[in-house]
Amino acid sequence: MKHIVLMCAAGASTSMLVQRMQQAAEKDGFVCTIEAHPVNQAAEYADSDVILLGPQVRFELNKVKNQVNCPVEPIDMTAYGTMNGEAVLKQARKLLGA
Which listed residue (6, 8, 50, 64) is catalytic? 8
Q: In the sheet that 2-8 helps form, which strands lie side by side, from edge to edge? A: 32-38, 2-8, 50-53, 72-74
- Cα distances (Å, whole numbers) of residue 66 to 42, 46, 47: 10, 10, 13
Q: Establish whether 8 is a catalytic residue.
A: yes
Give catalytic residues, as residue numbers.
Answer: 8
